[in-house]
Amino acid sequence: MADCPSTRIGVAGYGYWGTKHVRVLTSLAGVQVTVIEPDEERRRRARADHPEVGVVRDLDDMLDGLDGLVVVTPPATHARLAIKALGAKVPTLVEKPLVLLEQDGVAVVEAARAAGVQLMVGHVFAYDAAVRKLRDVIASGELGRVLHIDCARLNLGRYRQDCDVVWDLAPHDISIVAHLLGELPATVSAWTHRAAVRAAHADVAHLRLDFAEAGVSAFVHVSWLAPEKVRRITVVGERKTAVYDDLAGDQRLRIHDVGVDLSDHDAATDSGSPVVHRCGDIVSPPVPGAEPLMVQDAHFVDCVRAGTPPATPGEQGLAVVRVLAAADRAASTGAPATVARRHTAAGAGWGRTSVEVAS
């Protein structure tokens, strides 16, 4: 029996994240990888790291020979490369953020719809088994009504010249919380600060995302200027609290049986406490340990082969860009900003019926 032909995947960009995608894709059975990289030194490094892959300078050199494309270049170039690939009917995965301008995001989504091919965004934590387990725990009612969510994504950072810390780090938390709650925030409040005097962009920021249907606010703290790396999301419920810590190894998800209950406090006499603290067990449910990037890229390859829609479609990427744009407006005016919904309400896949992927 003849061997099945390889699935030909191009990776545009061989920088920090491009190297990771190439590592993952070359480990998948039946995948033939080509790196597209204009920088000569990076092309040389790609050949040295992976002698088995093809390496070319320009997307035009390879576009006709691709079954799928992964765009991992600086965000300002995402729209141009994605539109070119989609116009050639090549399914495309674009790393986050999808784009830096709302109008570019609309153009990319419309290009995919016009071509009738898959556009996927690299919201990698949607492919993390611990995040999906947390979503299921919330949906089951185990935590009770969600009261609020706290997110912290901090490190002594890799300062970027093309975007600020919000556009660099907050897409992760925005997409995770939208995934957990099954909806987009209605409004965003934001405070940003350029703490390092020579930094080109804000390096510390706090966001408040208000979710209308769930009646929940999520608070997001992102920073390139923190002494320790933190990747943590805390979901506080009426009955229990869940903590997702991406750096906690095999205990990335912990369910704390803690909270407060109303007491028989007599407000008239001010006797006793108005609440009773409750402290119970901490449970860490088992979750598969598969690398989320591996799960994500394998899912993209499966979608390319089968012609099926991805779990994180381009509309999700555009939705997150609109939240980020609202954060920019809020930071500029000091007032909450409304998140635009046009082009993102249909097909975003954040409802409870969203596509599942294997871990």
pLDDT attached to residue 88: 97
CA-based end-to-end distance of the chain: 30
Q: Is 356 exposed, middle or buried (0-12, 13-18, 19+ CB in 10 A)?
A: exposed
Per-residue pLDDT band for 4 (boundaries 50, 70, 90) equals: low
For residue 221, report the phi and psi dihedrals to the nearest 5 degrees. -115, 120
Rounded CA gap, 209 and 220, in Å?
8
Domains of the chain as residue ranges with CATH: 126-292 (3.30.360.10)
pLDDT at res. 195:
85
Going by pLDDT thresholds of 50, 70 and 90, the confidence category of residue 13 is very high
Confidence of residue 356 (pLDDT cuts 50, 70, 90): very low
How far is 193 from 233, CA to CA, in rounded Å?
A: 22
Q: How confident is the model at residue 263 (pLDDT cuts 50, 70, 90)?
A: low
pLDDT in tens, 51-89: 999 999 999 988 999 999 999 999 999 999 999 999 999
**pLDDT attached to residue 165:** 96
Which of 91, 13, 15, 17 is closest to 292 using CA atoms?
Answer: 17
131 contacts 176 by C-beta, under 8 angstroms? yes
**Residues whose CB is less than 8 angstroms from the CB of residue 92 and which lie 6 or more positions away in sequence, other chains included:** 68, 69, 70, 71, 82, 85, 86, 112, 117, 118, 119, 120
Smallest CA-to-CA distance from 82 within 132, 125, 119 is with 119
- pLDDT, residue 259, reads 75
- pLDDT value at position 273? 62
Instruction: Give the max Cα distance, the chain.
Output: 86
pLDDT, tens digit (0-9, with 9 covering 90-100), for 302-330: 999 999 999 999 999 999 999 999 999 99
> Does the structure show a pLDDT above 60 at 346?
no
**Section 150-166 average pLDDT:** 92
**What's the pTM value of the predicted model, to 2 decimals?**
0.90
In the predicted model, is pLDDT for residue 158 greater than 90?
no
> Which sign, positive or negative, has the C-alpha torsion 341, 346, 347, 351?
positive
CB 193 within 8 Å of CB 204: yes
